[in-house]
Amino acid sequence: MSDARPLISYVFPIYHEEGNIDLLHERVGEAVATVDVDAEFIFVNDGSTDGSLDRLIALSERDERVVVVDLARNFGHQMAVTAGIDHARGDAVIIMDADLQDPPAVSLELIREWQDGWDVVYAQRRTRKDGAFKRATADLFYRVLGAMSTVEIPRNTGDFRLIDRAVADQLRRYGEHSRFLRGMVSEIGFKQKAVLFDRDARHSGTTGYPLRKMIRFAIDGITSFSAKPLQLISRAGLVVSFLALLGMLYAVGVRLFFPEQVVEGWTFIVTAVFLVGGLQLLLMGIIGTYIGRIYDEVKGRPLYGVQEVYRDGERRLGRRARPGRAD
C-alpha cells in the first residue's frame, strides 16, 4: 500500500453546455473535497458553438486542476470521451456527462468501490427522468443488443463509470473508429462492478443526441459487437432454399401429374426462379461470413488483456498497489 493520495481524473464531454459548466465544476469540486483523493477535471470541448469554450478557459484560469481539450470540430460524444481518457493522468478515470444527469455524489461511490479493488465500476440506472419515447427506444435498443452481442453489455448503463488506469491503458489500444465505449469496456474484462443510482433530468440546455444521432449510435453499438445480422442472411438462405425445393417439387409434380393445368414453359421458369433465389441468399450468407471475419480483423482490437502475471510465486506485473487503499 502507499500513502500517496490517488489522482482521480474526471472526464466531461462538452457539447453546448454553457449553462452547466460552472455548476458542474462547483458540484463535483464539492463532492471530491469530502474524500481523500486528488482530482483533475478534463473538459473536452466537442466543437461547441456556444460560449462553452470561453467558460472552460475561464475555469482553467481559476482552478489549476482543470484541463481543457478543445477538439477541432464536433466529433461526437464517444470520441470526446476517448480524447478525455487519452489526456487523463489519474490512477482512475471517471467518465461523466456534463449536464448533471449523472449525480456527482455517485462518483464518490464509484471511487469507494475502486479503492475496494474493483477495476471497472459502472453506474447502473435504477430510474431515469427522460421522456417516455427515450425510455422506450433505449429499452428496445438494450434488448436487441443483448440478443445479438457476443460480449455481455450490462443493461441500463451509460458511459457514467470509473475505470482503473490499467483499463484506460487497455482501452487506448482499441483503434476502431466507430466507438461504442461501454461495449469496449465490457469486452476488456477485469473486475467489474455495478453501482445503482437514480438518473436526474438534464440541468440546462437541450440534448446533444437527437433521434438521428441516437439511431446512428445504436447501429454502431450493434454492428461493433455482433456479426449476427450477417449470419441471419445464411439462415434466411437456408429457409428460402428449403421452401424453393418444395416449390420446385410442386412445379414438377403439377407438370407430371396434371399437365393440362400447366402453361407452356411454366415449370422451367418457376423452377429456375426458386433455385436461383435460394442459391443467391445462401451464397450471400457465405460471403457475409467472410465479410464478418474481415470486419473483425480490420477493427484491429488487441488480442488479449493481461490483468496480472504471477511469476516465481510473486506478482510482478499488473496491479500496482492501489494508492490510498487502506490495506
Smallest gap from Cβ 207 to Mg ion, in A, equals 6
Please pick, from the candidates 7, 8, 10, 15, the single residue that binds ligand UDP as defined by CB under 6 A: 15
Q: To 10 degrees, the CA torsion angle through 43, 40, 107, 225?
A: 60
Residues 214-273 that bind ligand UDP (CB under 6 A): none
Report d(CA 186, CA 182) in Å as an integer: 6
Taken in order 310, 311, 315, 319, the sign of the CA dihedral is: negative
Binding of ligand UDP by 209 (CB under 6 A):
yes
C-alpha cell at 41: 477535471
Stretch that binds ligand UDP, among 13-21, 221-229, 251-259, 304-312 (CB under 6 A): 13-21
Determine the Cα–Cα distance for residues 281 and 114; give it in Å rounded to an integer.
50
Name which of 165 and 199 has its Cβ closer to ligand UDP.
Answer: 199
Chosen from ligand UDP, Mg ion, none, partner binding at 15 (C-beta under 5 to 8 Å by type):
ligand UDP
The answer to whether residues 11 and 93 touch, using CB atoms and an 8 Å cutoff, is yes
Query: What are the cell numbers at 243?
Result: 421452401
Q: Which does 209 bind (CB under 5 to 8 A by kind): ligand UDP, Mg ion, none?
A: ligand UDP
Q: Return residues touching Mg ion (CB under 5 A).
A: 97, 99, 101, 202
At closest approach, how far in Å is the CB of 246 from ligand UDP?
Answer: 48
Q: How far is the CB of 225 from Mg ion (least distance, A)?
A: 23
Report helix, strand or coil for 300.
Answer: coil
Q: Which distant-in-sequence residues (6+ apart) come within 8 Å of 311 by Cβ?
A: none
Q: Which does 77 bind (CB under 5 to 8 A by kind): Mg ion, ligand UDP, none?
A: ligand UDP
In angstroms, what is the minimal distance from the CB of 251 to Mg ion? 58
How near is the Cβ of 160 to Mg ion at its closest, in Å? 10
Kind and range of the H or E element at 157?
strand 157-164
What binding mask, one character per residue, do residues 92-111 give for ligand UDP by CB under 6 A, x or -?
A: -----xxx-x----------
**Strand order across the 66-70 sheet:** 66-70, 38-45, 7-14, 92-95, 157-164, 120-127, 192-198
Q: Does 17 bind ligand UDP (CB under 6 A)?
A: yes
Query: Cα–Cα distances in Å, from 97 out to 54, 100, 113, 118, 296?
Result: 19, 7, 20, 22, 30
Residue of the chain from 6, 13, 247, 324 that contacts ligand UDP (CB under 6 A):
13
- 156 in contact with ligand UDP (CB under 6 A): no
Using CB under 6 A as the criterion, which residues of the chain lie in contact with ligand UDP when the complex forms? 13-15, 17, 46, 74, 76-77, 80, 97-99, 101, 202, 207-209
